[in-house]
Structure 1
């Protein structure tokens, strides 16, 4: 320091600054009870609730897990940082990111010999849609157009995947079960036979 003076620690520190770092004696005498977080009263979509609760389970250690219902709004705000936002002026369905995510979702739950999206049962379509909603967010005013764009992209991706497996590569991919693959190939052969016989 200039002038050779040594600064005495603790001096010149504002009072409010000293309170930020209390001594151990003060700390031990304080109540270490953490207040409970209130549960939000607004209804939450069930699939979203399950997604956010799974985040709590996977991001907390057993010592810090609370057995009561988690603060879903708090977890939603954290998780939305990890979710990508869809908007026509930004990330939208013409971006390969969307096609890749839909492909990943389909591959994780491909349990039928589907050649096109119309053949998929409603339960699987709903599962896939909920998985998609867990990966992206968008404003409410875009809900109808997002659903429409998703359906179109999902139909295209499923047709492409089915064609690639049953016509182009003719080999079972790692993400498809043996029975599903055999049934898909049989269905494709039947389809070819029907076209030839017409």
Structure 2
């Protein structure tokens, strides 16, 4: 059980032959956006650039960097976010992207959806990097006129208001006091962490609590082992371990992933709290676009397959 010192407890594991994203897009593209493998463009793509949810997908840092490169190759309007970006620019970015990667025709819709979701986040991050972190210094790839227009927008009252509110939200509603870190995984996605953990265990898919511990713990002092960061992380693991112990004392054999799901209150705004993109490896997403939150536990197909394989191996 997680102690007051912040020590976590492993929750078990599953063995699985594949690590896939059991995801469904929330914003289906229009017919004009659909791109097939026959339209992939110039030349053939190497096997290492074949997109597939089971191998290379949008939670991979390589794919994310490729999307950023598409922005740099064609940044022709001062867009602060995906909503402000013209459809022609979005289409051009995707055309650049499809020259770098290929995929099976049945994945057309999923690829476009995945690209749009990841591109929207990267564009927002890039705007913050250009206008805030670089303190007004123009990146070499951005046209001077576009940079000037982008910086001018940051002086607008509406932008300042939204920026101030965003800062407060990140700090729990106030700009005062010390803010505890939310995680310690750096720029690596939680899905990538889960895959690396599985690779180290010969294909064993980690439980939700194992992923949470890995991405919310760090070694504070040499030789003392990893400890959970922040009071919120400690509280979540304390509650999880208490629930797990209560079920065991009652003789209830409940899946640890379901216990974690109960602990964090289910899916919220499309994500499982504390798991980021790795949550879709373990939990099925709702098939309806309007239901991004859910308190009903449903394991993903990958998770169900993992359980079956694990039970077979243990018999």
Deviation at 1:80, TM superposition (A): 2.6
In proportion to residue count, which structure has more helix? 1
Q: Deviations over 1:37-86 (max 9, x none)?
A: xxxxxxx54xx4xx43xxxxxxxxxxxxxxxxxxxxxxx5xx23377101
How many Å separate the matches in 2 of 1:159 and 1:87? 25
How many Å separate the matches in 2 of 1:154 and 1:168? 20
Which residue of 2 is the match for residue 96 of structure 1?
61
Length-normalised TM-score, structure 2: 0.37
How many Å separate the matches in 1 of 2:125 and 2:162? 20
How many Å separate the matches in 1 of 2:160 and 2:56? 42
Q: 4+ residue stretches of structure 1 with deviation over 3 A? A: 191-196
1:65-144 pair list within 5 angstroms? 76=43, 79-81=44-46, 84-144=49-109
Judge conservation of contact 1:115–1:162 (CA < 8 Å) in 2.
yes
The runs of 5 or more residues in structure 1 that have no matched partner are: 1-43, 53-75
How many Å separate the matches in 2 of 1:193 and 1:99? 28
Which residue of 2 is the match for residue 160 of structure 1?
125
How many Å separate the matches in 1 of 2:47 and 2:140? 28
Question: Which of 117, 127, 134 is the equivalent residue of 1:169?
Answer: 134
Q: Considering only aligned residues, what root-mean-square deviation do their CA atoms show, in Å?
A: 2.3
The runs of 5 or more residues in structure 2 that have no matched partner are: 1-37, 166-315
Deviation at 1:115, TM superposition (A): 0.5
Which residue of 1 is the match for residue 265 of structure 2?
none
**Whose radius of gyration is greater, 1 or 2?**
1
Length-normalised TM-score, structure 1: 0.58
